[in-house]
Amino acid sequence: MTDYQLIVVGGGPAGLAAAIAAWEEGLTKILVVERDRDLGGILNQCIHNGFGLHHFGEELTGPEYAGRFVQKLAETGVSVLTDAMVLEVTPEKQVRLVSREMGYQELTAQAVVLAMGCRERTRGAIGTPGTRPAGVFTAGAAQRYVNIEGQMPGKRVVILGSGDIGLIMARRMTLEGAKVLACVELMPYSGGLTRNIVQCLQDYDIPLYLSHTITEIRGKNRLSGVTVAQVGPDRAPIPGTEQDFACDTLLLSVGLVPENELTRAAGIPIDPHTNGAVVYENRETECPGIFACGNVLQVHDLVDYVTAESELAGRAAAAYLAGGCPADDEPYIAVDAGAAIGYTVPQRIRPGKIDKSAELFFRVRAPMKKSRILVTSGGVQLAAYPRERLAPGEMERIQLPKSLLQKAMGSITVSAEEVAE
Amino acid sequence: MKELICICCPRGCHLQVDETQDYAVTGNACPRGAEYGRAECTAPTRVVTSTVAVRGAAYPRCPVKTAAPIPKGKIFEVMATLDGLTLRAPVTLGQVVVKNAAGTGVDVVATRTLE
């Protein structure tokens, strides 16, 4: 006998949706473990609107979106443990955790859903030269200070990186009275959603410097300024293009990394392109009965897709139990990322496990104009999907019908190519 | 002809708005785009989200939003009405925090329940 049928690690949007879906599929002994004080994860600090258009058909703020799932969970019999940190998950599905209230505990489950989310890349990850003054924050940390704790990180702000959190914080700091001097992006295009460029930067006349980076951080105790320089096609700074900005705050929005310490420690294989687990069509990892979903699996642009993916994982966990916890020996088709494609999720599809079709998520490596997405196997084209444009900042998805997968030989390759207008 | 990027959803449709043809919109994938394109060229609006101080809750700030889009030019005036305001817990989701903010006819409401 195990303590729970299912333990969900993480109580953000992914964990909430997975737990609710598993409950709705008939599991009755489910535990959600959350390290923060409240459920909802990072949505609680994302006070801006724009969430839920796909899932709810209306535009909600982050706390509202989270609130709906927290409410729904409360109407189930799912157990919740907050202020609790999972230390280890074993392949045998033993979950070791520690909390102030209960101390150290070892719990067992028949299935586990990993929903730990992701973490921001920091200054160390991008190696910006200069001194180490106060005033350099990741954009998400600043978001927490402003929106949850009511503290302003500074008054004159430069933002490095044009990911969505950086763009959102450019507007937020402006509304709270700070002067945002510039948003600086290394690449020749923004990594954020186009709508955020419009409503966060253009609305407030904040300049976006594409193909630029910060080459020096200055300041003794507090940040006093940064040097911004243009970069060439090789992304190296071009001498002579430097300009100085006097600022007391630098926000970094330079990417997110799935938080997979538990996954790695469990010996679950990781895809070096997503930094998340290698998964099958139902989000099962290579360790039978352990599933992964949401930003711990692949960094999503939209929480709506996190919800959809996590419902899939939750339902799959319930099906795994209903099927008597089978060992994994079904044949699968490997999905390879071909020309112009950065990664795909899932990486493996078992045709025997899908009803009508499998949904495939991926990102292109660089922006593309009118294009088509090709699915091939053994050099034979199985399907083509037209797109008006493609961008790395916007995750793409295609449906692979079961009939198509049955034609595949061992593996399929997804690629993209531009077509004449 | 004015070119815009629709902000109604993350798809970000590239719209063309023809001022000479009663602001006819092309390039939109849904009716919201046509509406947005027209409004953006005639009377642009935005939903404003922010926080207000709250006492007696686990956190010192309560997130809020305008219950509907307000004229873009009124954003900072609406922000100013939130300054110096202090709520008392419990606060419930949807509770009106400021009525008719800055004369826009739109209320500012809480977006999180804080006990």
CATH 3.50.50.60 domain position(s) in chain A? 1-120+256-329, 122-254
What pLDDT, on the 0 to 100 scale, is given for residue A414?
A: 97
Smallest CA–CA distance, residue B40 to chain A, in Å, is 11
Q: How far apart are CA B94 and CA A73, in angstroms?
A: 20
Q: Could you give the ipTM of this predicted complex?
A: 0.91
Instruction: For CATH 2.60.40, list the domain ranges present in chain A.
Output: 331-421
Distance of CA A246 to the CA centre of its chain: 33
Q: Are residues B38 and B60 in the same domain?
A: no
Which of B10, B49, B64 lies closest to A302 in CB terms? B10
> Nearest by CB to A47, which of B51, B75, B76?
B51
Given 1.25.40.10, 3.40.50.970, 3.50.50.60, 3.40.50.920, which CATH number is that of A122-254? Answer: 3.50.50.60
Set of chain B residues whose Cβ sits within 8 Å of the Cβ of A57: none
> What range does the domain containing B97 cover?
49-110
Using an 8 Å Cβ cutoff, are A223 and A246 in contact? no
* Inside any domain, residue B101: yes
CATH of domain A1-120+256-329: 3.50.50.60
Test B10 with A394 for CB contact under 8 angstroms.
yes
Please indicate whether, in this complex, the C-beta atoms of B111 and A61 are within 8 angstroms of each other.
yes
pLDDT digits (tens, 9 = 90+) for B54-104: 999 999 999 999 999 999 999 999 999 999 899 999 999 999 999 999 999
**B56 and B32 in a common domain:** no
CATH number at residue B95: 3.10.530.10
- Residues A221-232, buried b or exposed e (16+ Cβ, 10 A)? eebbbbbbbbbe
Query: pLDDT tens digits for A217-274?
Result: 999 999 999 999 999 999 999 999 999 999 999 999 999 999 999 999 999 999 999 9
Residue A232 Ramachandran class (φ > 0 left, ψ -120 to 50 alpha, else beta): beta
Tell whether B60 is within 8 A of chain A (Cβ).
yes
Q: State the pLDDT at residue A329.
A: 78
Between residues 91 and 110 of chain B, which touch chain A (CB distance below 8 Å)? Answer: 93
Q: Are residues B38 and B65 in the same domain?
A: no
Q: Are A252 and A122 in contact (CB under 8 A)?
A: yes
Q: Are residues B56 and B80 in the same domain?
A: yes
Same domain, residue pair B63 and B102: yes
- H/E stretch holding A125: helix A123-126
pLDDT at A166: 95
Query: Any CB–CB contact under 8 A between B7 and chain A?
Result: yes
Q: Which residues of B touch A61 (CB under 8 A)?
A: 49, 63, 65, 111
Residues B29 and B64 in one domain: no
- Number of C-beta neighbours around residue B56 at 10 A: 11
Q: Between B5, B49, B59, which is nearest A198 by CB?
A: B5
Q: Do A150 and B51 touch (CB under 8 A)?
A: yes
In the prediction, which pLDDT does A12 show?
Answer: 98
User: For helices A13-24 and A62-74, what crossing angle results, to 10°?
Assistant: 30
Give me the pLDDT at residue B13, please: 85
Sheet holding A396-401, edge to edge: A341-345, A357-364, A396-401
Place of tokens 């101390």: A103
Q: Which residue has the tokens 């399929």?
A: A412
Q: Which residues pair with A159 in a beta bridge?
A: A183, A251
B contacts of A48 (beta carbons < 8 Å): 49
Q: Say what the pLDDT of residue B56 is.
A: 96
Residue of A nearest to B110 (CA): A64
In degrees and rounded to multiples of 5, residue A3 shows phi and psi of: -65, -40
Report the alpha-carbon distance of residue B115 to residue A416 in Å, rounded: 50
pLDDT of residue A389: 86
CB burial readout A369-383, b (16+ within 10 A) else e = eebbbbbbbeeeebb
* B115 within domain boundaries: no
Q: In the block, which residue shows the tokens 């449709």?
A: B13
Tell me which chain B residues have a C-beta less than 8 angstroms from the C-beta of A193.
10, 12
Of the candidates A149, A195, A301, the beta carbon closest to that of B60 is on A149
Higher pLDDT, residue A290 or B39: A290
Q: Which residue numbers in chain A have pLDDT < 50?
A: none
The Cα–Cα gap between A76 and A72 comes to 7
Provide the sign of the torsion angle of the four alpha carbons A387, A391, A393, A399, taken in this order.
positive
Q: How many domains does chain B have?
A: 2
Say if B26 falls within a structural domain.
yes
DSSP of A132-144: --BTEEEHHHHHH
Interchain contact, A195 vs B10, CB within 8 Å: yes
Give the burial class of A126: count Cβ atoms within 10 A of its Cβ; 0-12 exposed, 13-18 middle, 19 or more buried. middle
Residues B17 and B57 in one domain: no
**What is the chain A residue with the closest CA to B52?**
A150
Are both B19 and B62 inside the same structural domain? no
Q: Are residues B59 and B104 in the same domain?
A: yes
Considering the domain architecture, whether residues B60 and B99 belong to the same structural domain is answered as yes
Task: Please state, in angstroms and as integers, the Cα–Cα distance from residue A259 to each residue in A275, A280, A292, B4, following that order.
Answer: 9, 19, 11, 37
- Tell me: domain A331-421, CATH 2.60.40, correct? yes
Same domain? For B58 and B38 the reply is no
Q: Provide, as residue numbers in chain B, all residues whose Cβ is less than 8 Å from the Cβ of A301.
A: 10
Spell out the alpha helix ranges (H) of A303-379: 303-322
Same domain assignment for residues B73 and B89: yes
